[in-house]
A and B are shown apart, each in its own frame.
Chain A
Amino acid sequence: MERRKFVIGLGSLAAGGAAATGTGAFTSVTADRDAEIDLEDDADAYLGLVAGNDNGWAVQTAGGSSANGTMMIEMNGQSSPGGGGTGVSANAINVFDDVFRIQNQSNGQKYVWVEFTKSGGGGATADVDIDFYVGDHSAGPDSIVGSGEAAAVGEGNEIAVGIVVDTEDVQNYNNQGWTGHILEDVTIHAEDTDPSGGT
């Protein structure tokens, strides 16, 4: 594998600046220094994002709508699940174990959690419940939505993230005019410290 360097300097400016109150004070300085930062695709980044096993079909990393190496979840007519379906069922609990994996390719344990944005999709957004969870849904889903639900991922480890879309309250699909997406984006957070305050 290729080796990547991460050389970046932060802080010396601030430390030096605190003492600079006598002559020669300045309001601002712009000084150019070299720093090399390699940008990687999601699979090779410190926070790795790759397709899962069970339902990795719903993840695009190249081609489809996303040809730029970043992960995209598509449960719509763009992905090709083989059977030809173009979305999740209304009035149902749609469970997708192991859609994507979050990999800790950094040093030390990370606390990982997600946020997402629901979209109206033309219907009543409140009738759709979405959750992101770790592991098998049948074993009892362990949500990782919100900082309070952060999951610890050890160095070199990964978690399999599933998605459940509960549309049981959508009983009149046609009448509500569902035409667009019911989920728009997901934000993945990884932090050194447990944001829930626990251990």
Chain B
Amino acid sequence: MRRRRLLAALGAAAVAVPGSGAFTSVTAERDAEVDLENDADAYLGLVDLGAGGRSETDAGRLTFSFPSDSEPSQLGLGSDSIYRFETDAGTTDPGLFEVTNQGANTVEVYASQTNTSGVPAISIFDVADPATVLDGNPDSVTLAPGQSFEGGVRIDTHGVSIQNAPYEVTLTLHAEL
């Protein structure tokens, strides 16, 4: 079978081996191949839905814009409000984006925002259950490998001052065992 013999010649067998199976050191080099992928192909798959531009894949990365470039530029979010976006602009198809578990383990998916002070608070929800904010505290979506959900974006503008320049915020998506 896989039993192979290597016959080596090294002096006489005079040195005692301290017990069976001891060694002083071993160095073993192994191949490791890790590929970097865009959002659509990575283990946590993120795909923008719709062509209205509220969700887009920019340089391999899922991004959001409210309003989108396809919407009148004078539009925007009102202050002291909570907005829920379940569709892209110009469509009634559900979902702004799709999250797919393309990995090997069942994961809990939710999103968080690192810095919320003075900026709009952004979170996600499953369009099948828009009332539940998926912030991991405690709500999340359970995805087995191959499963996905269509997501929407919730934006809370309470306590945020009106300004001309868009607010740039970062949403962090988590997929955890």
Contact = CB atoms under 8 A, between A and B. Distances in A.
A65 B19 contact: no
A46 B26 contact: yes
B145 A81 contact: yes
A65 B31 contact: yes
A190 B23 CA distance: 9
Contact of B22 (A4, A108, A188): A108
Nearest to B8: A35
A35 B37 contact: no
Interface of B, secondary structure class, is loop
Contacts of A185: 29-32
Interface stretch (B41-49, B78-86, B87-95, B121-129): B41-49
A78 B24 CA distance: 35
A129 interface: no
A88 to B, nearest CB: 6
Interface in B10-44: 10-15, 17-39, 41-44
B132 interface: no
A197 interface: no
B29 A187 contact: yes
A184 B32 CA distance: 5
B61 A33 contact: no
A47 B23 contact: yes
Given A184-B32, A188-B30, A89 B37 contact: yes
B44 A175 contact: no
A187 B27 contact: yes
Interface residues of A, number: 87
B104 A75 contact: no
Interface residues of B, number: 55
A22 interface: no
Contacts of A126: none
A91 B170 CA distance: 12
B131 interface: no
A75 B13 contact: no
A74 B25 contact: no
A185 B10 CA distance: 31
Contacts of A167: 36
Contact of B7 (A9, A35, A170, A189): A35
Contact of A82 (B10, B32, B33, B145): B145
B140 interface: no
Given A37-B8, A83-B103, A84-B146, A165 B61 contact: no
A54 B177 contact: yes
A26 interface: no
B102 interface: yes
A112 to B, nearest CB: 9
A182 B29 CA distance: 17
Interface of A: 4-13, 31-42, 46-47, 49, 54-55, 57-58, 65-66, 69-78, 81-92, 94, 97, 105-108, 116, 121, 123, 128, 130, 163, 165, 167, 170-175, 178, 180-192
Given A174-B60, A183-B32, 13 more contacts: A12-B14, A49-B30, A54-B105, A66-B31, A83-B100, A83-B102, A85-B44, A85-B102, A86-B41, A87-B34, A87-B42, A107-B18, A180-B35
Interface of B: 2-15, 17-39, 41-46, 59-61, 100-105, 145-146, 177
8 closest A-B pairs by CB: A85-B102, A173-B60, A82-B145, A87-B37, A81-B104, A87-B35, A83-B102, A85-B43
